[in-house]
Structure 1
Amino acid sequence: MRRSSEDTKALILAAARERFAADGYERATIRAIAADVAIDPSMVMRYFGNKEKLFAAAADVDLRFPDLTGLPRESVGTALVTHFLDRWEGDEGMMILLRTGVTNEAVAERLRGIFAAQLGPLIAALHDDPSQAPSRAGLAASQVLGMALCRYVLRLPPVVAMSREEIVHWLGPTLQRYLAE
C-alpha cells in the first residue's frame, strides 16, 4: 500500500528517534534508519536533507513546563521533579539529547540551549531576583540531568531501583532551593 508523504516523513522521524536513542548520533546511520522504515536512504535525504537536519527534527524538544506560578511556593520543587520524570519517561527526544549530548558537542549545545531558553524564564517568573535565573536554572538542570543520566543511561542500580516517589522525595527539596528560596 502506498503511503502519503506525511506518513512517510512521520515514519522516518519515529525510526530516527528510536535509532538515535539506541545508537547515539555517531553510530546511527541514514541507511539504518531507512532500513527500519523499509525505504531507500535517498528518501530520508529527500525529506530531511542530511543526518544533522534529521537529528534536529528527531530531537526537537519542548520541555512543556506546567504553570508553576499558581502553585504554593513550597511545592514547586516537587512539581518540577515530577514533571521532569514524566518528560524523561515519555519523550524519546529527551533521551536522544541526553545520550548523545555527553559525546557530541553540537548536541550538548542544543541541550544547553533548550534548558537555558525554557527553564531560565520559568525560574525568573518564580523568583524575586530574575538576574539569578541563569545560575538557578543551571543548578536545577545539573540535578535533573544528573538524575536522568544515572537512572536512564548509566542505569546506576540504586537510582534505577528508586520509585518515582522516592526520587521526588529526595530531589524535590534540592530543586525547591534552586527555584524558589
Structure 2
Amino acid sequence: MEQSASPRSQRTREAILYAARVHFGSHGYQRATIRAIAATAAIDPSMVMRYFGSKEQLFDAALDLDLRLPDLTGTPPELLPHALITRFLAPWENDTDEGSLRLLLRSAATNERAAERLRRILHEQLTSSLTGVLGAERAASSSGLVAAQLLGVAFARYLLRLQPIADLSVQALADLVAPSMRTALADP
C-alpha cells in the first residue's frame, strides 16, 4: 500500500475515502463496489487497491475516526455532563452527510465489524477522556451508559433528524441531556 505524503497522493487518498464513505453509507458494505468507488473518485479501480489493499481495508479506513474528546481532568463534577455532551457533539456538527461519524453509526446497526469498531472507539475514547475526573475503574464502568446516551442523541439528531432535537443548538441540547448524563456519571 502506498504511504506517500505528497500533496497529490494525499488528495487521491482523501478522494477515495470520500467516495468510499458515500458508497458505503448509501449502499452498505456488501453492495458498494470498488469500481463504483473509483468512478466517484475519478480514478482507476486499481488505484483504490494500491492505496488500501482491499475493500475490507478501505472500509476500515473509512470508519477510522477520532472523537476528539479531551482529557476532562479538572472539570468540576457539576459541569462534567455539559462539557462531555458539547465536546462529543462538536465533531458531529462539522461532519458531512458522507463523514465517518454518520457512516460508522449507520453501519454499526447492520455490520458486526463496524459495530465492534464503534464499541472499541467509544469505550477507549470515553474512558480516556473521563479517567482524570472519575478514576480509571469508574470511567471504564461508566463509559457504556454515557455512550448509550450520547449515541442516542447523535442518532436522533444527525440520522433521524428528530424534531426538536435536530434544530436545537448544541448548548440547548446539552442543557436538556445533562441531568440524565449526571445520573450515568454518578458514583454507584
The TM-score normalised by the length of structure 2 is: 0.84
* Pairing partner for 1:101 from 108, 112, 117: 108
Q: Aligned pairs, how many?
A: 178
d(CA) in 1 for partners of 2:39, 2:119? 32
Kept after mapping to 2: 8 A contact 1:126/1:180: no
d(CA) in 2 for partners of 1:21, 1:168? 27
Task: Tell me the percent identity.
Answer: 50
SS of the residue aligned with 2:82?
helix
Alpha-carbon displacement from aligned partner over 1:95-126 (angstroms, at most 9, x marks no partner): 11101001111100000011111112322321
Asked if residue 164 in structure 1 is aligned to residue 170 in structure 2, the reply is yes
AA aligned to 1:160 is A
Describe how 1:63-78 pairs up with structure 2 within 5 A: 63-78=67-82
AA aligned to 1:161 is D
d(CA) in 2 for partners of 1:90, 1:180? 30
Normalized per residue, the structure richer in helix is 1
Describe how 1:13-24 pairs up with structure 2 within 5 A: 13-24=17-28
Distance 1:66 1:122, change over 3 A: closer
Asked if residue 121 in structure 1 is aligned to residue 106 in structure 2, the reply is no
Alpha-carbon displacement from aligned partner over 1:137-179 (angstroms, at most 9, x marks no partner): 0000000111111121122233223332321111122223333
AA aligned to 1:107 is A
Q: Which has the higher contact order (CA 8 A, sep 6+)?
A: 1
For structure 1, the 5+ residue unaligned runs are none
AA aligned to 2:152 is G
Describe how 1:23-172 pairs up with structure 2 within 5 A: 23-91=27-95, 92-128=99-135, 130-172=136-178
d(CA) in 1 for partners of 2:70, 2:157? 23
* Cα RMSD for the two superposed structures: 2.0
Alpha-carbon displacement from aligned partner over 1:36-66 (angstroms, at most 9, x marks no partner): 1111212111111111111111111111112
Kept after mapping to 2: 8 A contact 1:127/1:180: no
**1:180 Cα deviation from its structure 2 partner:** 5.5
AA aligned to 1:150 is A
AA aligned to 2:158 is Y
d(CA) in 2 for partners of 1:78, 1:47? 40
For structure 2, the 5+ residue unaligned runs are 1-6
d(CA) in 2 for partners of 1:23, 1:170? 34
